[in-house]
Amino acid sequence: NVDGSVSDEIKERTYVLKSKGQGRMIQVSIPASVPLKEFDYNARVELINPIADTVATATYQGADVDWYIKADDIVLTKDSSSFKAQPQAKKEPTQDK
């Protein structure tokens, strides 16, 4: 709760998703009023009305910054089934010039 007391009420759910754009895992929170989502591993999903923001905490050496993503919902994309069936392409090593 806002006052720091413990509550049994679930206010939001956080999902850990692979992000192709970020090149890593991201956490996305959606309201608890949205039914629980269960997706197959590597299913392609879309965030509905995503908002990315930061929270900064002052420190003696500047500030620590944490970012978070919230969305109204997470849904499967229309091409999700075809995405799961595609094999991963091997990346050829690149040579620096």
Q: What is the pLDDT along the chain (97 residues), one digit of tens a residue?
A: 778 788 888 889 999 999 888 889 999 999 999 999 999 988 999 999 999 999 899 999 999 998 899 999 999 998 765 444 444 444 444 455 4
Task: Determine the distance from the C-alpha atom of residue 21 to the mean position of all C-alpha atoms in its chain, rounded to a whole number.
Answer: 11
Cα separation, 63 vs 59, in Å, equals: 5
Residue 67 CB partners (closer than 8 Å, separation 6+): 52, 53, 54, 55
Please list the residues that pair with 58 across neighbouring strands: 63
The secondary structure element, H or E, covering residue 40 is: none
Tell me the CATH number for domain 12-79. Answer: 2.40.50.390
pTM value > 0.75: no
Name the token pair of 57: 């905490």
